[in-house]
Amino acid sequence: MHFMTLSGTTALAKSIRSRSRFRLRGFAMAFMCLTVLALAGIVTPTNAVARTYTAMVIDGDTGEVLHQYRANHKVYPASLTKIMTLYMLFDALDNGKVSLSTRMKVSKRAWGQAPSKLGLSPGSSITVKDAILALVTKSANDIAVVVAEHLGGSEVKFAQMMTAEARRIGMKRTTFRNASGLPNRGQMTTARDMITLAVALRKNHAKYYHYFSTQKFRYGNRTYGNHNNLLASYYGTDGIKTGYINASGFNLVASVNRNGKRLIAAVFGGRTARTRDDQMKKLLDRAYLKLKEDGEMAPPRPRFSPEDKILPADAQLLMAKRETRREAEQPGRIDTETVVSRIKPAEASSGWAIQVGAFSDQRRAQEAVLAAARTAPEALRLTRAAVEQQASETGVLYRARLLGFEGENDARAACAALRREKVACIPINAGGAG
């Protein structure tokens, strides 16, 4: 009995030693894995700057900084790089090197770029104008390379040209390595530098800036939407671009004009496109509130105009809700006469407007104005509504319009918001031919 106990003890000891050696080997393997991961983090700068949040907001007219957080911290620009690619293309247009109708060839290298892209086949070509729209809306990586190779001979040479131009306009901490913004360890920028680029673009290439407010781009049999959601969701936005790669998070440079006061802002490192957009809106709201408190914002337009007695669109929206309730009580009856007034074209306000329909029936024109006010109250809240009566060859025509936009870009942005909701809309220069 005593012998058997010793034997059992010996076997147990061997088993324990065996399991201990197994555990030690496991610990050693785990330690080696952790060491490799740690070293990878040291030698790969991507992890050190991944998804770093930085932001900046300036007064676009004076250059005053209204908000900044790590504005000089280096981050990856992602597709914001294409703003500089477009800047270089606008330079080439102004210098006569290309025209909007110039065709640029697609190389095998361009065709082989990672999405997002148009996917044009090698040997095909695209016009400069279509290339601009593809970069603004689709953020097409293949087209960025097409532009780079056409203007620089190679993408490497073009990136060097981009960096040199960046230095010239004051982007002190930016280096470009490609034309698209696809991942590259050496391609870095800052929130301050990107705002510097946005300011320079508006100053030096104002006549091309309207491309950044393009909501949709149709090429071939496909339609591509703009990734910049603020164009349709934040009143006054007229540009400029979004960007994303995994190492940077979601980035955005935005330009907004309200009541003649422009803000330019940059946000880097959003977790999602939605959180990035929400943060941008919050920063812009705070900046406009600060300007208002400092007395730098123009006073709001009066709710009623003594000349033509037309209600602002936000007032129409409230009244339209009451009319909806009355319609429910009296089916088929909508008293829109209390909401809008008829005016003659000669009495119309000057400046830019939008038109949401032209009808032979006044009631339908009035309903169209109400529908627009209900559909996009944010974009139309500072405008005034009018149903303009005009003689035509077939009788009287009633044009449903919203008046009082600061400029063409504001009118186009409002139309973009309405079209997004499937409402027909065209910008109109109310001071000229309509």
What residues contact residue 260 under an 8 Å CB cut-off, 6+ apart?
Answer: 298, 406
Instruction: Report residue 170 as tokens.
Output: 């004051």
Question: d(Cα 52, Cα 43) in Å, to the nearest integer?
Answer: 18
> What distance in Å separates the CA atoms of residue 215 and residue 63, rounded to the nearest whole number?
28
* H/E segment holding residue 359: strand 352-359
Among residues 116, 138, 139, 349, which one is catalytic?
A: 139
Among candidates 290, 335, 292, 314, which has minimal Cα distance to 404?
314
At residue 26, φ and ψ (nearest 5 deg) are -65, -45
d(CA 202, CA 253): 13
CB 425 within 8 A of CB 354: yes
Q: Which two tokens stand for residue 363?
A: 């009631």
CB 113 within 8 A of CB 181: no
For the record, the structure tokens of 278 come out as: 């929400």
Q: Active-site residue 82, yes or no?
A: yes
Q: Is the peptide bond before 7 cis (omega within 30 degrees of 0)?
A: no
Angle at 316 between CA 312 and CA 321, to 5 degrees: 160
Tally of helices (H runs) and strands (E runs) in the chain:
14, 14
Query: CB within 8 A of 387, min separation 6: which ones?
Result: 340, 341, 342, 343, 362, 365, 366, 369, 398, 399, 400, 401
Tokens of 60: 């676009």
Strands in 384-392's sheet, in edge-to-edge order, are: 342-343, 384-392, 395-405, 352-359, 426-429
The tokens 């003689």 sit on which residue?
Answer: 391
Question: How buried is residue 57: exposed, middle or buried, by Cβ count under 10 Å (0-12/13-18/19+)?
Answer: buried
Between CA 192 and CA 127 the distance in angstroms is 32
Q: What secondary structure letter does DSSP report for 306? A: T
Return the DSSP state at 189: B
d(CA 373, CA 39): 58
> Are 135 and 85 spatial neighbours (Cβ–Cβ below 8 Å)?
yes
The 10 Å Cβ neighbour count of residue 74 is: 17
- Residues with active-site annotation: 79, 82, 139
